[in-house]
Every structure is written in structure tokens, then in C-alpha cells.
């Protein structure tokens, strides 16, 4: 105990003495992630990029004696960007004030918007800096404050070797003058990091493997991963082929083997969880190498995502409908790239509205009765069931004064005034909806109750509406569930289809939106609302994960708007504000933070959108 106390005390003491940062002024990326994303897009950056944590990079520059004793100063986090993400440091505590550390986040964000192609890392960062200040001169004040504070932290060339002193002077010259032509001759040790610049050599993100990837359509390949604890810090990684296990050399000393007499039967049962050990090991590693193994996992995990047998699966209604998909890299639609599979639930039974929803349904129906079609007298008609006395008297008066208009409308008629709109609800039924929101309900249960109450409300107004759900396994298998069509009456059979919804697979949202738009476009109504309910961002087994899926979904929404449709998204995803403004616009989505409130809020939201 004494040794541990002395060791931990010494570690805290020497680490604090060696640390040149300002922990009292630290700013975390989580605190400014949303602001950085908005700032990046406001400066003209690509809207589909995500803001993520950067990975650790090795620092081989000269360290102080205290840093070598404490084992610190050998890692740093640079800012950089790739096609899908903007990487920023997990935290910044370089400067003594929080405002300077926040300004550094914003400066790095602005710097990443400017793209340069040629030059070494110093020249590129000079060009980025000059371009940033030229395009957005309002950032000059913040940058000068950051530069002044950083130059005070740079090492004094007088205390360095000749080679290190020369490269330090070159970097300071490049920092002070963006247009200076500099040439860096590397010394034995590289220079200290420049936190005001982007990564000198960003890590590669594309990996290749000589082994083919398993086909996700094969049931044996659809295996659910074990649920892991979320890592605290993003790690660098690379891929490699799976070792065969037949190569290598093992050596040992025969005298190291125990004899029978030396064997002691000791209970060494492990009390630690294997998953905890694996996660702890991963946290301690700087670089993780992964390989794809062809071995199967345990049968329990395999059964969780195994495809259902055909006799238990839902009913397929056709051979499939080809749908286009947007490739943002090529900036073009890929013709018939995906396939919609229309489906309906198997073995549905007509059911009544669940008892737990009846009281709430009565309340909502009363609220929606104000939208019920009513008969109104329309005056000043050319023909009708009665004489419009006021206009007829005016007509007689005009005729007496010689001002006769033979086509004066002098009738009135009793007509129904109904709302001229159609609404299609498109519900995300992906595997993530199987997650629990509390001890008694899952996300899919909340969606089911929402469809019940939404249908109860619209059955009062007489508005035309349809209900559909979707999930996907890959681009060739996007399931589109028919729950209620526009021409179907809302009755116990439709309630049976609502009751039968269940979690599916993945979320190829762009494909589902395109097909739903085609169906909604056929409606003759003047107002056409496409209401999308989801709990997460677009994803699928193939390259649809990440920016590809975001861009395709955004393009599908743009296409729907060009057709005169009104897309609107209702989500319970807490991270939705990172991507939904880019997909739908700032006024075409709503985040419901408490998922349990979705059934009550959805009809009221419809009332606000269509009143």
C-alpha cells in the first residue's frame, strides 16, 4: 500500500510539473462540436461532413527532461479532414484562457474549408492560412491573438542544436509571413508540432485486404456483433490479412516444464469479464490492427441476425421495383441501382384499438373535429340552390339605374368544404427500433402507438393518408411495407397491420423516400405531405454507411421537393441536429427528445403542418 501511495503521488507530481498545458482552461470537442459543424457549413464547407475526434499522432521532437521522466509530450492530436469527416482534437488546453482555446477550434475549422493541392506541409498550411484570411478577413484578429500566444510557446532557437535551431527559425518565419518562400532542412529531430496548422501527413483511411468480404445476403454471414462498451478515445487502426497460424518458430526450454511432483492444483478461476479485459486492452493500445476471420461466432449471436425462414417471413408482393441512387462522388444518379421489395405482414389479424390508447384517442379525435369537412353557404354563385338576396337586391338597384350586367351572380349554394391534401407516413422499421426506451417499451412500440393515434386523428378529418414502413438488407433488398394505402379505409384490418410491424434490418432511407415520393406524386391533392419517422441516420451493409448515405438521402429529398411534395422528418435521435439540418433544412424536421411522447405529439405536429 505504501509503495502504491508513493508511486501515485510521484506520478501526479512529475506529470503536473512536466505538463505545459492549462487544464483550468481546457475546452472539449463535445462542447463545441455543434458550433464547429455550423461554422464549417456557414463558411462554405461541404454539409455532409461529420465532426469527429482526431487520433493521436506520435511526436518525435525534442522533449524536456521532465517530460522524459514523466513519459509525456510524445503524443499530440492534429486537425485534418477526409471525404467524410472533419477531425478536430478531442480537447484543447494549449492557451491560458478558454476563449483562445475555443478560437483555435474555430480557426482550425475555417482552415479546413480551404483546399490546396500542391506543396509540402508547410507551404500548404501557408496557402490555407493566406486563403482563409483573404476570404474571411474578420478572422484576422482571432488568428493574430492565437499566433502571438503560440509563438511565445515555441522553443528558443538559442537553446537548440544548429540543425534544430534552423528548422525552428524556418517555421517561425512561415508562421509570421504566409507568403514567405521557405525550405525546411530537417535536423536529427523533427520540429515541435504547429497546432495552428492542419496535419502534416493525415492518416490513410482506405484499406484493402486480399480476402473477399463475406456476402451480406448469405444468412450465415449475417451475424450480430457482440455489444461492446464504447471506447473512450478514437484509435488509429490498419487492416491486415488473418494469420494462417501455421507459420512461425516457437522455442522453449525443456527444463522449464513442470514435473508431476511439482504440479499443484490451484483454483485460478477468473472473476473478470472477458469483454472488460478486451476493452481495457484496446484502450491501452495506440494502434489497433484488425483482420477478417472466416470463422463463425457463437450460435446465439448467429441466431440474433439470422434471416427468418421463408415460411415465417413477411409476404413479398412482387419481384421488385428498380430505383435510382445518387453517387455524390460522381455527382450523378445511378440508374436502377437499388430495388424496392413491396411487402406486407404475414398472418395479420383484425384487432381493435388497444385499451391503453382509447382515452388518448378520444382526446385527439375531439381536437381534430375542427378539421372535419362541413357544409357552408357560398354566395355570389352563377347557379345554385337558392337566390342570394343581398346580391339580387344589388342587381335590381343597378338595373333601375341603367347599369345592367347580365352575368351578375345572384345565387348561393350549400357545398362541402374539405381540405385538399394527402399525407404519407413513412416509418423507419430498422433493427435499431428494437432498442428499449424504458423498462416497458421499445422504439418500435412507440412507433406503433404513434401510427394508431395518427390514424385515429385523420379518420376524423377525412384527409387522405397512407402508412408505410421500410428497412433494408442491401441495395438490392429494400423492404417497403404496405400498412395502409390511400384508398383503404381505416378499420380493424388496418389496425392489425399496424399491430404486426416489427424491427427489420438497416436504413437505406434515400431509396425508400424516392419510392414513397413516386406514390405520393400520383395523388391529385394540391398539398402533399411526406412525413418520415426515424430514430437514426441512413445506413446499410455496403458503402451506404457514412457520407454516401447522407448525400443520397439529401438528394432524394431535393427530388421530392421538386415534385411539389413537402418532406418533413420526425426523429428521436439525440444526434439528429448534426445531420438533419443538412438533409431537410432547419425548418423541416423536429427532434422529440423524449421518445415516449411521440404518439401524443405526432398528430399535433400534423395539425400544425396542415392547418
CA distance 568 to 241: 45
CA–CA distance from 152 to each of 104, 106, 149, 172, 561 (Å)?
A: 16, 21, 5, 11, 54
What band does 156 get if pLDDT is binned at 50, 70 and 90?
Answer: confident
pLDDT at 286: 56
With beta carbons less than 8 A apart as the criterion, state whether 222 and 307 touch. yes
CA distance 478 to 56: 39
CA–CA distance from 366 to each of 215, 362, 417, 451, 460 (Å)?
A: 52, 6, 19, 18, 9
Please say if the pLDDT value at position 66 is more than 80. Answer: no
What band does 418 get if pLDDT is binned at 50, 70 and 90?
Answer: low
The tens digit of pLDDT for each residue in 531-546 reads 999 998 899 988 898 8
pLDDT at 240: 60
Please say if the pLDDT value at position 490 is more than 50. Answer: yes
CA distance 125 to 111: 8
CA distance 381 to 410: 6
Percent of the chain's residues with pLDDT above 90:
35
> What does the angle CA 309 – CA 313 – CA 319 come to, to the nearest 5 degrees?
105
Q: Where are the alpha helices (DSSP H) in 508-567?
A: 509-521, 547-562
> By mean pLDDT, which of 65-69, 424-428, 493-497 is the weakest?
65-69
Cell numbers of 548, please? 454516401
CA distance 555 to 327: 10
The tens digit of pLDDT for each residue in 161-193 reads 888 888 888 889 889 888 888 887 877 788 888
CA distance 202 to 206: 12
Q: Where are the alpha helices (DSSP H) in 138-285?
A: 140-151, 162-176, 274-284
CA distance 607 to 611: 6
CA distance 574 to 591: 8
Please say if the pLDDT value at position 373 is more than 90. Answer: no
Please say if the pLDDT value at position 529 is more than 90. Answer: yes
Task: Find the mean pLDDT for residues 404-418.
Answer: 66
Nearest to 76 by CA among 190, 220, 229, 221: 190
Q: Is the dihedral of CA 131, 137, 140, 142 positive or negative?
A: negative
- 315-369+420-610 has CATH 3.40.50.410 classification: yes
pLDDT at 414: 57
Q: What is the DSSP string of 169-210?
A: HHHHHHHH-TT--------SSPPPP-TTSB-SSPPP-----S
Backbone angles phi, psi at 346, to 5 degrees: -90, 145
Q: Which residues pair with 387 in a beta bridge?
A: 411
In the chain, where are the structural domains located?
Answer: 10-176, 208-223+293-307, 315-369+420-610, 374-417
What band does 392 get if pLDDT is binned at 50, 70 and 90?
Answer: confident
Please say if the pLDDT value at position 285 is more than 70. Answer: no
What band does 495 get if pLDDT is binned at 50, 70 and 90?
Answer: very high
> By mean pLDDT, which of 282-286, 386-390, 400-404, 508-512 is the weakest?
282-286
CA–CA distance from 143 to each of 24, 149, 181, 253 (Å)?
A: 22, 10, 21, 64
Burial tier of 556 (Cβ tally within 10 Å: 0-12, 13-18, 19+): buried
pTM of the model: 0.65
CA distance 471 to 474: 9
Strand order in the sheet with 50-53: 50-53, 85-88, 80-81
Backbone angles phi, psi at 483, to 5 degrees: -100, -45
Looking at every residue in the chain, the average pLDDT score rounds to 80
- Count of CB atoms within 10 A of residue 372's CB? 12
Between 514 and 367, name the one with better pLDDT: 514
The tens digit of pLDDT for each residue in 219-257 reads 434 444 444 444 555 556 555 655 655 555 555 555 555
What band does 108 get if pLDDT is binned at 50, 70 and 90?
Answer: very high
Which stretches of 349-392 are assigned E, i.e. beta strand? Answer: 374-381, 386-387
Amino acid at each position: 500500500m505504501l509503495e502504491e501511495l508513493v508511486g501515485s503521488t510521484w506520478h501526479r507530481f512529475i506529470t503536473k510539473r512536466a505538463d505545459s498545458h492549462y487544464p483550468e482552461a481546457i475546452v472539449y470537442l463535445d462542447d463545441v462540436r455543434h458550433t464547429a459543424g455550423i461554422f464549417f457549413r456557414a463558411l462554405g464547407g461541404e454539409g455532409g461532413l461529420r465532426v469527429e475526434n482526431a487520433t493521436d499522432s506520435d511526436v518525435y521532437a525534442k522533449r524536456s527532461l521532465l517530460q522524459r521522466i514523466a513519459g509525456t509530450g510524445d503524443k499530440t492530436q492534429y486537425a485534418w479532414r477526409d471525404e467524410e469527416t472533419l477531425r478536430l482534437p478531442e480537447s484543447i488546453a494549449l492557451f491560458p484562457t478558454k476563449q483562445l482555446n475555443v478560437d483555435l477550434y474555430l480557426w482550425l475549422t475555417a482552415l479546413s474549408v480551404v483546399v490546396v493541392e500542391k506543396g509540402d506541409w508547410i507551404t500548404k498550411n501557408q496557402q490555407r492560412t493566406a486563403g482563409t484570411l483573404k476570404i474571411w478577413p474578420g478572422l484576422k484578429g482571432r488568428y493574430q491573438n492565437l499566433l502571438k500566444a503560440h509563438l511565445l510557446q515555441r522553443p528558443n532557437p538559442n537553446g537548440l542544436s544548429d540543425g534544430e535551431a534552423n528548422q525552428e527559425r524556418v517555421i517561425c518565419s512561415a508562421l509570421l509571413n504566409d507568403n514567405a518562400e521557405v525550405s525546411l532542412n530537417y535536423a536529427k529531430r523533427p520540429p515541435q508540432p504547429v497546432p495552428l496548422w492542419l496535419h502534416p501527413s493525415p492518416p490513410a483511411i482506405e484499406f484493402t485486404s486480399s480476402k473477399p468480404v463475406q456476402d451480406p445476403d448469405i444468412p450465415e454471414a449475417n451475424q450480430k456483433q457482440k455489444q461492446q462498451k464504447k471506447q473512450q478515445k478514437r484509435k488509429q487502426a490498419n487492416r491486415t490479412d488473418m494469420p494462417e497460424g501455421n507459420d512461425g518458430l516457437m522455442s522453449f526450454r525443456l527444463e522449464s516444464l513442470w514435473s508431476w511432483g511439482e504440479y499443484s492444483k490451484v483454483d485460478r478461476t477468473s472473476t473478470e469479464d472477458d469483454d472488460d479485459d478486451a476493452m481495457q486492452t484496446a484502450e491501452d493500445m495506440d494502434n489497433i490492427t484488425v483482420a477478417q476471420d472466416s470463422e463463425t461466432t457463437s450460435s446465439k449471436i448467429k441466431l440474433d441476425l439470422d434471416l427468418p425462414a421463408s415460411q415465417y417471413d413477411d409476404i413479398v408482393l412482387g419481384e421488385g421495383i428498380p430505383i435510382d441512387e445518387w453517387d455524390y462522388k460522381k455527382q450523378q444518379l445511378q440508374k436502377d441501382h437499388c430495388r424496392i421489395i413491396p411487402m406486407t405482414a404475414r398472418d395479420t389479424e383484425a384487432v381493435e384499438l388497444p385499451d391503453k390508447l382509447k382515452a388518448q384517442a378520444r382526446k385527439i379525435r375531439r381536437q381534430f373535429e375542427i378539421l372535419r369537412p362541413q357544409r357552408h353557404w357560398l354566395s355570389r354563385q352563377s347557379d345554385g340552390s337558392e337566390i342570394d338576396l343581398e346580391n339580387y337586391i344589388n342587381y335590381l338597384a343597378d338595373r333601375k339605374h341603367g347599369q345592367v350586367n347580365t352575368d351578375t351572380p345572384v345565387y348561393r349554394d350549400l357545398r362541402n368544404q374539405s381540405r385538399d391534401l394527402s399525407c404519407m407516413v413513412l416509418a423507419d422499421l430498422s433493427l435499431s427500433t428494437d432498442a428499449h426506451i424504458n423498462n416497458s417499451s421499445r422504439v418500435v412500440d412507440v412507433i406503433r402507438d404513434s401510427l394508431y393515434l395518427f390514424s385515429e386523428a385523420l379518420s376524423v378529418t377525412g384527409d387522405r393518408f397512407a402508412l408505410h414502413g421500410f428497412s433494408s438488407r442491401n441495395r438490392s433488398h429494400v423492404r417497403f411495407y404496405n400498412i395502409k394505402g390511400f384508398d383503404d379505409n381505416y378499420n380493424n384490418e388496418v389496425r392489425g397491420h399496424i399491430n404486426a410491424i416489427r424491427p427489420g434490418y438497416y436504413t437505406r432511407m434515400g431509396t425508400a423516400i424516392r419510392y414513397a415520393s413516386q406514390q405520393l406524386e400520383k395523388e391529385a391533392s394540391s398539398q402533399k405531405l411526406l412525413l418520415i419517422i426515424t430514430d437514426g441516420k441512413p445506413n446499410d451493409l455496403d458503402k451506404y454507411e457514412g457520407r454516401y448515405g447522407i448525400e443520397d438521402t439529401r438528394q432524394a429529398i431535393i427530388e421530392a421537393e421538386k415534385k411539389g411534395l413537402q418532406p418533413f422528418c420526425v426523429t428521436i435521435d439525440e444526434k439528429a441536429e448534426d445531420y438533419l439540418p443538412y438533409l431537410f433544412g432547419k425548418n423541416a424536421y423536429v427532434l422529440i427528445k423524449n421518445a415516449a411522447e411521440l404518439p401524443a405529439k405526432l398528430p399535433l405536429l400534423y395539425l400544425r403542418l396542415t392547418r
